Amino acid sequence: MKIAIATDHNGVNEKKEIIERLKDEFEILDMSPVNTDTDDYPDFAFAVCNAINNKEADLGVLMCGTGIGMSIAANKVKGILCGHCSDVREAHLTREHNHANIMAVSYTQDVEQIVEMIVEFAKTEPSKEERHNRRVQKILDYENGNYGR
């Protein structure tokens, strides 16, 4: 499985440590190899989104100060379902129930916890339950201009 990961100027060292811890289990694509104090998180969010949409990666992980800005930017990209996650349970559920293909986190969380969240996110399959599929389909329909209650 290929995972694209990126951070803005917040979390550069944490990202490197995460990549090091995950590289034996997953193929990791570093989508923010160079960071500066003045970089903008949407640029890195869009890089990961493009990697997903271009089938260069299976899943994505975004980090910034809170993870919120990254998740907002990512969710503007067609075909992306990004969930902001704060713990392993949320990482599991955003993938299982919401069929997310990207998770966003705060770099301020413990690196070990972030690694656990990524592993859980990656190993969780999207639910095949009708209620989850129906809800996700409504989101996709709206994204494609076909939403009508």
pLDDT in the model for residue 87:
98
Query: What's the confidence (pLDDT) of residue 149?
Result: 64
For a pLDDT cut of 70, what percent of the chain falls above it?
Answer: 99
Residue 6, classified by CB atoms within 10 Å of its CB into exposed (0-12), middle (13-18) or buried (19+), is buried
Core vs surface per residue 17-40: b (16+ CB within 10 A) or e: ebbebbeeebebbebbeebeeebe
Catalytic status, residue 49? no
Mean pLDDT of the chain: 96
Of 9, 49, 82, 97, the catalytic one is 97
Q: Per the residue annotation, which of 64, 82, 85, 99 is the catalytic one?
A: 64
Angstrom distance (rounded) from CA 107 to CA 129:
32
- Answer yes or no: is 45 within a domain: yes
15 is in which domain, residue-wise?
A: 2-143
- The whole-number pLDDT of residue 65 equals 95
Kindly report, residue by residue over 95-109, the tens digit of the pLDDT: 999 999 999 999 999
- pTM of the complete model: 0.95
Whether residue 131 lies inside any domain: the answer is yes
Assign residue 108 the CATH number of its domain. Answer: 3.40.1400.10
Please tell me the total count of domains within the chain: 1
- For residue 148, is pLDDT > 80? no
Residues 6+ apart with CB under 8 A from 31: 4, 5, 6, 44, 47, 48, 51
> Is 99 contained in some domain?
yes
Instruction: Tell me if residue 9 is catalytic.
Output: no
Tens of pLDDT, residue by residue over 25-80, are: 999 999 999 999 999 999 999 999 999 999 999 999 999 999 999 999 999 999 99
pLDDT in tens, 7-30: 999 999 999 999 999 999 999 999
Give the count of beta carbons closer than 10 Å to the beta carbon of residue 137. 12
